[in-house]
Structure 1
Amino acid sequence: MVEGAVPSLPWMVVDAANREIEAVSRYLRDLYLGDVSPLTCRSYGHDLLRWFRLLWSVDVGWQQATEAEVATLVGWLRTARNPQRQRHREGGYAAGSVNPKTGKPTLAAGYAPATIAHNLSVVHGFYAFHRHFGLGPLVNPVPESKSRRAALAHTSPIERPRPFRRARLRPKVQPRQPRAIPDPQWAELFAQMRCVRDQALLACYVSSGARATELLGIQLSDIDWTTGRLWVISKGTRLRQAVPTSPEALAYLAGYLDQAGLPEPGEPVWRTRRGPARPLSYWAARRILQRAADQLGANWTLHDLRHTAATRMARDQALTLVEVQTILRHAHITTTALYTAVGLDDLLDKLAEHYQRPSEPARWSQSYDADDISAVFGD
């Protein structure tokens, strides 16, 4: 993957001889002209690069690919080790194990089912695009699910969605569950922040529910000190939208700006602390949280802060679910409803009381004869 040479193609895929793969570039250019973000083009490009590497290894042209090559891709993804999962810290937990402190599983050593499903969707879209122009095989090599297409063709919001079977070679993708940080662990995590900047960053995250990259991009003009709002560029619509923030977070933010100084016009608020002032990148903010989590033996991530804010709002009886949907900027209220689910960690106190409570003896209505009850159920 390399950066594109023209504005209409932010990323492109090249082969081992550094030659551009024109078929992929045409597809990515069409996606970008369809108003997807450059990061989406980059993600699709990586999936297509994986596909073309497979075709090169079996010496099959992309126009001659069949379902057999797709099955080979799925089989390799299901058995190969993901290079991104091979990082190992001394004393760290094994890949795929559950962190005993947070109850949150670590990433498995291989490729996740969602990654395999995404790769198949990208390859399917690549061949559907070229078939539209009369190129490539007449039959898409990625199998489709006719029952899924029929179930999603005409849907009503007041009817239950019809079940459908997965297409062949598609993995089972479990829906993501919210992973909010419990209040005691949140207090421990916040206490690990080393400076006012990090405290302000976490306080803004957990009170606004903004996504990681959205909050990192705010400028001084995006802070409304009077009404307690931050203006962020939303991930989905790429519109500048307002998100709330708490007075406590604004106090931390004011303390950070007083200590670090005001940024230049047009520069982000969050900056590095060492060396020349530079915008704080996503990876630097991620590392801030990782250092603090490692000290606590936890595995919380930046996106868990958004889950924490969403869960707190969804369980507040003073806020309706539609209001929480507006704050989080969810397209569908069913996504917001996921945060109302009660997890096992929330039931530990009630379960402890349940286990300590003595079992009550069975009582029968006086209308039943005692001998009949004894004959049916025993003494």
Structure 2
Amino acid sequence: MPGVKCGGCGRFIATQDGAKCSKCLELYHRACVGIPTKAGIAPNWRCPECKKHIARDNRTETPIRGSAQSPSTDGATMSTEADSDMSRSPGDTASEPLPRLSVAADTNLHAIVVELRAVRDEIRGFRREMEVEMAQLKAALGFCSTRMDGLEARVDKLEQQATAATGSTSSNGLERVVEDLKRELNSRDQDVLANDIEVSNMPETGAENPAHVIKAIGHKLGVSINDCDIVSAERVGGRRLSVTSSTGPTESRPRPLVVRLARRDLRDQLLAAARVRRGASTADLGMPGPAQRFFINERLTKVNRQLFRRARDAALVQKWRFVWTKQGRIFTRKEPGDRAQRIRTDEDLSRIFGTANETACL
């Protein structure tokens, strides 16, 4: 049986060629335990190791494991062989124990060689099988790696497309939402200013009374304004000064006068009268100093005011004749009789005047 080793020498041994101990069931070469090749083995035969543990009976000999170098047998067998050897004559040519041991050793060596060759063949077969399996495994791993690379490339491409689509969609959507919110807030802010008017280019003095000024303007335009009709009247914005005189800084342009009226219809009457009386100046109000034209307009939010200025500049470049505001809304018309177009955003400026770049630079 391949793989069984001798209990004495540790080399491989065939089961049918060995001696099996009835006590420990170990298998030994015949030569290792001193049993002749053709001698029979008793069923209750014990190996030298097991004999060591038998109770002593005043005999001085003690079995020693690995007695292949000095072969010995049971007491009866050894004494019989010794008697037979002594009884032979010097000229007797019968086979002696040493040649028998050599034949046994050769037989065991041949069995070992056979077993080793069988083990080698098994190892070679196992190696060939492993090589085949390794080659198949490498091929399978290569195929899986190729597929994984392809899948990763496809996933990356899909992620990029999804990110681009989501990013552009979300970005455009967010931009539209922000623009709508800005437009709505601006519209609400403009509604808050529905009762306000703005008087620009009106000279500013240190001791002026804004309420008295607006009442004088209303009287000149034919609109009666009382104190109860004025909610508030004040100059807004910072003073714009420039050093143009040796006496000190002088005011380059007066701040606008903002008036909030109690009633919207009163504001509309004042604006309509101002349109009829174009060219009114400070001289008409009896104010000292050189005559200056002043202008009365409805008050706009900062966003609408900037948009109105850009619209006027674009209209001037494109030679559109009319740009005006009404109820906080900005309108334009190229020629009399043309349809009025409303301007809400810079996109409307580009669409109407076609001068997005020029208008942005003005």
Asked whether the two chains share a fold, i.e. TM above 0.5, the reply is no
Q: Sort the TM-score into its range (normalised by shorter chain).
A: under 0.3
Structure with bigger strand share is: 2
Asked which structure has the greater CA Rg, the reply is 2
Q: Under a length normalisation based on structure 2, what TM-score does the superposition of the two structures give?
A: 0.17
Q: Under a length normalisation based on structure 1, what TM-score does the superposition of the two structures give?
A: 0.16
